[in-house]
Amino acid sequence: MKMKNITKWLAAAVVFGLLSLATQRADAVLEMSYTGDSANLVGTVIPGVLSGGQADRDAAMTNTLLGMSSQTQVLGADGSLYSRTTWPGGGPATTVGAVALTGYSGGTGNVTIDILATYGHTFTYLVAAYDGPNGGAAVFNISGLTSVTVYGFAQPERDGNGNLTGNLLGTDVATQGYFRLTTITLLNPEGVGVPDGGATVMLLGAALGALGMVRRYLRS
């Protein structure tokens, strides 16, 4: 009877741990403010780069932003304004395992991607591009996120003097002056079913604590 109770207790502890881990991976609506330092936003590129294939182009924009200092802006050789936030990046972006999504230009509303359910794993970066030469592109660090939502329309923001601020203003409805989302690229696939470092430490600590309680229980 004592062993059955221990088994039930351990099973409950494991379930609780998994549920706690799952809550850390909630869906995110990705904002695109450089000056507001939006969560998950690595930076923006205005207007978006057009040359090269979609995955190559988006990986190149991502790596340019990753190589910049936090809260800086540079005018690239391609004529685009690159704006880097303080949000940390991961390793360099590559096209290995990249997923290039298209066909959004005729749609309406925001776009939600259930990443884990669709692809079986997560990705490190997401690049959302809005109407090529007219809009811009936003690069996000989505490491560990199982699903994300991006705005269906965006507009480059300008200050009172007409200068680009580095922000992309997003909305979920077709509005004059806003450009439709055209492509999404998912870069740098992440491992399947492997908790991140912090989660691993948390679960290991919980397991060791449980073992200690079991030993004390058996000695009683």
What's the CA angle centered on 48, arms 151 and 43, to 5 degrees? 65
Tell me whether residue 129 is in a domain.
yes
Number of domains, the chain? 1
Tell me whether residue 220 is in a domain.
no
Model confidence over 154-181: pLDDT tens digits?
A: 999 999 999 999 999 999 999 999 999 9
Tell me whether residue 27 is in a domain.
no
Tell me whether residue 200 is in a domain.
no
Residues of the domain holding 87 = 37-192
Tell me whether residue 19 is in a domain.
no
Model confidence over 67-82: pLDDT tens digits?
A: 999 999 999 998 999 9
pTM of the model: 0.77
Q: What does the pLDDT average to over 174-198?
A: 81
Tell me whether residue 178 is in a domain.
yes
Phi/psi at 158 (5° precision): -125, 150
Quickly state the pLDDT bin for 209 (edges 50, 70, 90). low
Tell me whether residue 75 is in a domain.
yes
Output the six-digit token pair for 208. Answer: 């060791």
